[in-house]
Each structure stands twice: as structure tokens, then as C-alpha cells.
Amino acid sequence: MNSKMLLSVAGAVASTLFLASAHGQVIINIDLAGQPGDQVSTAGTSSSPLVSGVIVDRGPGIGPTAAGNSISSNGWDSLNAAEDFFSLRFTVAPGESIDMQSLVIGTRSSGTGPGDLGLFYSGDGFASSLYTFTQSGTSFLNSEVDLTSLTGVSGEVEFRVIALSDTRADGATGITSGGTFRLTNYFDGGDTGGITFTAIPEPSTYAAFAGLLALAVVGLRRRLKR
């Protein structure tokens, strides 16, 4: 490979890394296609070596219910935030951190299931809602949640989806014990393949590699000018 070709490749790689750093990429995927709904949990996958142990399951206060291509539960009527929730968890490697960008997720309630639910984060002890899911009747709801406020995320990470009030998805008051709520893959004209978290992967590794690459590009440019 001659110097001009090498410079072109180096520039392309640098551009790709810059875009990944600026906008993030999907590093976590939880695919619920084919799941029965009443499974105990579903494991996810990660494209980053910094992230492992991806899983979605439910808190001890809600029960499993069958509903294809999802994880589904009833028992939301007690409104016990400490026990009634869906949990999405993963682990960031020791000594490392990631900057979150977004969560893309599908949800659905039955008419007597919860109508208002919030997304909470372990970083503040699940104290405040990052996002609100407003379910209308039995319609599927696609949500793209902005998580850019969550930087330097490390260690054991958990997001919870918790009912916020006794308002039902059909607009009435009084969630029933049989009322259900489920998490599903995001649909955009079709199944997009999962619940996904987007983040800036491996920021420390990226910074070091980007610095070395920049030096290499500068060196190549100087050689070409001779």
C-alpha cells in the first residue's frame, strides 16, 4: 500500500471513529422476538468488550403473563416501586466507563394495565424518572429515550420501568391485578430486532487510539509533501 492509499485509509478510519464518538453506536441489544412473555428473563448481547451481563427480567412484586415476542407481567395494581418493575441490567468492566446516548424500546399495556410508567436509573438510586411512557389503550408505543445526561456510567448498571400512578391505559382509575404491561422490540414499519441501548463505546480506548491515529496521519502528510 503506497503512502497516498494509506493516508486515505487512515482518514476514513479517523472519520468513522469521530462519528462513533460524536453519535455513539448500538452496544446493547435485547431481542424479544419469539419469547413467550412469561419467561423468567431474557439475556441480551453487547457489541462492546466493556459491557457484559445484559439481561431483562421483572421485580418480585409482579407476575409473569404469556404474550408473544415480549416480556410481560400483571400485578401492577399494588404500585410498589420497590418490587413492581421491569429491570434492564448490564455491567461495565472494572475501571472503565461509557457515555450513554439513547434507549430504543417498545411497550404495550392491556386496557386495565398501567397507563403511566417511568424509566428510572440506578445512578441516583431510582429517585427520579428519566422518561415517561404514556400508554393509550392497547396500542403499541415506540419510544426513543434520550440518555445523553448519563455520562461516565460504570460498574453494575440498572434501569427500571415502574408504574407512576393508578391511571389505567384505558384512561380510568384503578389498575387491576390482571392488568398487564409488557416490553417489546421497537417497531418501525416492522420488527427492528430488539430493545437497544446506544452509547459511546470504550471512551478511554477511543481517545488513546484516536490520538495515535492523528499522529500517524500528520506523519503521512509530511512525507507526502517532501
Superfamily of domain 25-200 in the CATH hierarchy: Galactose-binding domain-like (2.60.120.260)
Can you tell me which residue has the cell 456510567? 153
Q: Cell triple for residue 40?
A: 423468567
To 10 degrees, the CA torsion angle through 123, 126, 129, 134? 130
Query: End-to-end alpha-carbon separation of the chain, Å?
Result: 18
Taking CA atoms, 142 is separated from 105, 184, 222, in Å, by 6, 9, 51
Q: What is the pLDDT along the chain (226 residues), one digit of tens a residue?
A: 555 544 454 444 444 444 444 456 889 999 999 999 999 999 999 999 999 999 999 999 999 999 999 999 999 999 999 999 999 999 999 999 999 999 999 999 999 999 999 999 999 999 999 999 999 999 999 999 999 999 999 999 999 999 999 999 999 999 999 999 999 999 877 777 899 999 996 555 555 545 545 555 555 566 656 5
Structural contact between residues 177 and 74, judged by C-beta atoms closer than 8 angstroms: yes
User: Given this model, what pLDDT does residue 17 score?
Assistant: 42
39 Cβ neighbours under 8 A, 6+ residues apart: 64, 71
Interatomic CA distance for residues 35 and 191, integer angstroms: 14
- Domain edges within the chain: 1-23+201-226, 25-200
User: Residues 199, 101: contact at Cβ < 8 Å?
Assistant: yes
Confidence (pLDDT) at 220 = 54
